[in-house]
Chain A
Amino acid sequence: MRSLLSVLVFLFIAVVQAVSSSGDRLLVILEDDAEKAGYSKFLGDLESRGFEITYETPKSESLSLFHLGERSYDHVLLLPTKSKGLGPNLTPNILLDFINANGNILLTLSSSTPAPTSIVSLLLELDIHLPPDRQGLVVDHFNYDTSSASETHDVLLLPSPGPLRPGLKDFFSPVSEDGNLLAFPHGMGQTLGQGALLSPILRAPATAYSYNPKEQSEVVDDLFAAGQQLSLVSTMQARNSARFTVVGSAEMLSDQWFDAKVKKLGEKSAVKTLNRAFAKQVSGWTFKEIGVLRVNWVEHHLNEEGMSNASNPKIYRIKNDVKYSISLSEYSWDKYIPFEVPESDALQLEFSMLSPFHRLQLTPQISSSDSTYSVAFTLPDQHGIFNFKVNYKRPFFSNIEEKHTVSVRHFAHDEWPRSFVISGAWPWMAGIGATVTGWLAFCAIWLYSAPSAAKKNQ
């Protein structure tokens, strides 16, 4: 009976682990339970990937992100709500605490409803800025869908975003067969602060801009943001690797725009949208199904011939040859796979005491089941307490900060070269030899010398 139970528990754990690397409890906040229907495909996709979805409205009294100080949910999806605030259970403070407790949040905005004040304050905390008056609409008179928004130009059609910078892994570009486009309907853009934790997934095209449809319908007197400065889908990955994503258009995730046919200005044929694949990637990233790194093991040892090469010694000597290896895995949807550093990026090892003495590139050895990065180097000629430190922080990858402390000692007195191999010491050694010879000869003469003839004559 007991073994059966443990097997069941094991199976349960296995199922849980097959979902996301950080749990499967997903809370969806929406205005009204009936709105679920509009996002049935997106939510169905999430359910089929193994998430256990709980639906709540902000007004619900039973809604609580924490229970007895522990997170009640692993992930939160916030769909647009009409109320001005989000009530006492979803204050900016609670949402920040949720992020600090390693919970992930996927926030969706819409131009049709002003963003709740609670959300605006939360975003300000993270240095993400929304248009003034909590309302804005992104339009582009050059890249819009002619079939659904030929007059209003507020359904933006965009190509796959591609990697943010060279050297970063491209998580968010769904494969498109025939020039498929992303539709971004009726969305609110954001601008991002200078922080390194913020990174946009999808930026607006150069001719897009954001305006307030209530006040600026005639003329744009005060421009909030335009062009590439306007971020349509942005992310923030906290230092604890908790993820926060803002999708500017909730409709982007709705059934209507999943696989809808759109026609770009100037194009003849309509193409299907990529929204479903894009939504999978964005939600998968936010809920830690992709881009999560894990350190399997770290090993360092002496790399000198004829000396002990025990693993992870506590102490080394200056100028020792040492080899350091680290094994990394990356979570990909339902399993860990060997991690490969993106092209033109590098995994680096720092050997540091206060500041790095060495910062070296680790070279990979990747097999089908394991990826090991290693480097062999000579320790610096400085004794002290040093760290082997791998500090791999990149946008869209969870943070790795692996620190292993070792002592580095001086040469012991019997590890120096002997004086006879130092040519500069030879005169001094000859001096000692001369002194010894002279002393022994003096002793012999003092003991055994007979008075000389000259003395006898005295």
Chain B
Amino acid sequence: MRFLYSLTPSLLLLAAGAAQAASSWGFADATVSVNSKKGAGTGSKEKFSVKAPLSQPVVLGTTDSLKILLTAQEDGKDKRPHQAFVVLQEPTTGLEAPFPLTVKESGKATVEIKQSELPVQLAASTAPLKASIVLASFGSSEGLNTPIFDVEIKTDPTASPVVYEKPLRYGKQEEIHHIFRDDPKSPPKVISLAFVLAVVATVPALFVGWLALGANVSHLSKALSDAPLAHGVFFGSIIAMEGVFFMYYVSWNLFQTLPVAGIVGTATFLSGAKALGEVQSRRLAGER
């Protein structure tokens, strides 16, 4: 009772099929032809059968259409099956596209497949497509599913190629590793050292030049005896200021540096009046 609804439409076939138990589906008078759109046609019309599938692939151009004609048979008798498909399969992905044949009551079946009608995944295929024929129907007759030929898709080299964009699928993605910028580079150490030497050499050169011009420190003892504290503190504070700068470079921050620099600077200022006064007195005495 439960199956009655689906049984009714196929009652006719049932009655026919029940008679022969181990019958099977097949086809005869099968031909395949490739027709170009311009009507001229490549003229290729080849016969094939279940036992003799075509060994050479059928070449399908951009504007061509593939036409398959055959007569479906059940146990050698012409008959209309319910399922009559030409299935094109992309061999690398296994993707299939069925094309139903238009079947007449007599079993004569035909289908025309244009290249533009192919799904984009098949049209973009580089490997030849595998074409097979599926003929089957209700009842006990055994269905037929047999490969018949390969189809080679020829694309127009001047036209823009068919591009298949894969739809988004969730999955793991390519790893990304950040490319770091290069570290700053220094010139070769030899060059740096050569320039260091050149720079350091200016100091003795300066001293030699000064000595050649007659520079000396002969008044040191006189100055120290006239104003020992002022001169000691003044010159000492100038050296100390350089020391403050050195400490700032090595470890101190600005807030440690500024008070010390202030103290040293005040000492310079206060002792400077006296020490520079002594220098002036020597100048006024004509000793400079």
Binding site for B on A (CB under 8 A): 111-112, 137, 139, 141-142, 148-154, 165, 167, 186, 194-196, 206-207, 209, 211, 213-214, 217-221, 223, 226-229, 319, 345-346, 348, 350-351, 356-361, 378, 380-381, 393-395, 422-427, 430-431, 433-434, 436-441, 443-445, 447-455
Smallest beta-carbon distance A414→chain B, Å: 9
A449-B171 CB under 8 A given contacts A209-B83, A358-B176: no
Q: Is the CB of A438 within 8 A of B206?
A: yes
CB-contact partner of B96 in A206, A359, A444, A455, under 8 A = A206
Smallest beta-carbon distance A207→chain B, Å: 6
Q: Is the CB of B214 within 8 A of A447?
A: no
Which partner residue on chain A sits nearest B223 by CB separation? A448
Residues of B within 8 A of A450 (CB): 216, 218-219, 287-288
Q: Is the CB of A449 within 8 A of B170?
A: no
Residues of B within 8 A of A452 (CB): 213-216
A356-B176 CB under 8 A given contacts A152-B10, A427-B192, A447-B223: yes
Q: Is the CB of A217 within 8 A of B9?
A: yes
Interface string of B1-36 (1 = CB under 8 A from A): 001011111100010011000000000000000000
Residues of B within 8 A of A439 (CB): 242
27 inter-chain pairs at a CB distance below 8 angstroms, sorted by A residue, are: A149-B3, A150-B140, A151-B7, A151-B18, A165-B171, A196-B168, A211-B82, A218-B80, A227-B96, A229-B96, A345-B171, A348-B173, A380-B180, A381-B178, A423-B189, A424-B186, A424-B192, A426-B193, A426-B196, A427-B199, A433-B200, A434-B199, A434-B200, A436-B242, A443-B238, A449-B215, A449-B216
Residues of A within 8 A of B156 (CB): none
Smallest beta-carbon distance A11→chain B, Å: 39
Interface status of B203 (Cβ within 8 A of chain A): yes
Q: Is the CB of A427 within 8 A of B196?
A: yes
Binding site for A on B (CB under 8 A): 3, 5-10, 14, 17-18, 80, 82-85, 87, 95-96, 98, 100, 102-103, 134, 136-140, 143, 145, 167-178, 180-181, 186-187, 189, 192-193, 195-196, 198-200, 202-203, 206-207, 210, 213-220, 223, 231, 234-235, 238-239, 242, 275, 279, 287-288
Smallest beta-carbon distance B88→chain A, Å: 11
Which partner residue on chain B sits nearest A217 by CB separation? B9
Q: Is the CB of A431 within 8 A of B207?
A: no
Q: Is the CB of A219 within 8 A of B189?
A: no
Q: Is the CB of B196 within 8 A of A430?
A: yes
Which partner residue on chain B sits nearest A212 by CB separation? B9
Interface centre among B7, B167, B193, B196 (most CB of A within 10 A): B196
Bound complex: CA A450 to CA B223 (Å): 11
Q: Is the CB of B100 within 8 A of A434?
A: no
Bound complex: CA A357 to CA B175 (Å): 10
Bound complex: CA A237 to CA B77 (Å): 51
Residues of B within 8 A of A206 (CB): 87, 96
Residues of A within 8 A of B170 (CB): 196, 393-395
Q: Is the CB of B83 within 8 A of A141?
A: yes
Q: Is the CB of B136 within 8 A of A141?
A: yes
Residues of A within 8 A of B136 (CB): 141-142, 207
Q: A438-B203, A447-B223 are in contact. List 10 more A-B contacts (CB 8 A).
A: A150-B140, A195-B167, A211-B82, A229-B96, A348-B172, A425-B186, A430-B199, A434-B203, A450-B216, A454-B214
Which partner residue on chain B sits nearest A223 by CB separation? B100
Which partner residue on chain A sits nearest B134 by CB separation? A207
Q: Is the CB of B167 within 8 A of A453?
A: no
Bound complex: CA A226 to CA B86 (Å): 11
Q: Is the CB of B6 within 8 A of A448?
A: no
A430-B219 CB under 8 A given contacts A207-B145, A227-B98, A422-B186: no
What 6 pairs between A and B have smallest CB-CB spacing?
Answer: A452-B214, A217-B9, A141-B136, A424-B186, A450-B218, A427-B195
Bound complex: CA A152 to CA B172 (Å): 44
CB-contact partner of A220 in B100, B216, B235, under 8 A = B100
Smallest beta-carbon distance B269→chain A, Å: 15
Residues of B within 8 A of A167 (CB): 171-172
Which partner residue on chain A sits nearest B179 by CB separation? A380
Residues of B within 8 A of A357 (CB): 176, 178
